[in-house]
Amino acid sequence: MPPLLSQLFLKLNSSLKPLLKTLSWMILDLFYHLPPTLTISCLL
């Protein structure tokens, strides 16, 4: 992998990680506030 490309990849990776973390927390939060029966039916 060329140095420039790897640098770009690292930059992208470091900016994506917090975003993914935030997104996963939002999903968890959403599931947490939904009634359990609804959550279970969505998962099945």
Q: Are 5 and 12 in contact (CB under 8 A)?
A: no
SS (H, E, C) the chain: CCHHHHHHHHHHHHHHHHHHHHHHHHHHHHHHHCCHHHHHHHHC
Per-residue tokens: 12: 């992208």
pLDDT score for 38: 66
Q: Domain total for the chain? A: 1
Q: How far, in Å, CA of 24 to CA of 10, rounded?
A: 21
pLDDT score for 5: 84
Q: For residues 25-43, give the mean pLDDT.
A: 75
Q: How far, in Å, CA of 2 to CA of 39, rounded?
A: 45
- The pLDDT confidence band at residue 1, using thresholds 50, 70 and 90, is low
Q: For residues 32-44, give the mean pLDDT.
A: 70
Q: Tell me the pLDDT tens digit for each residue of 9-30.
A: 889 888 888 888 998 898 888 8
pLDDT score for 39: 63
Per-residue tokens: 19: 């975003």
Domain carrying residue 32 = 3-43
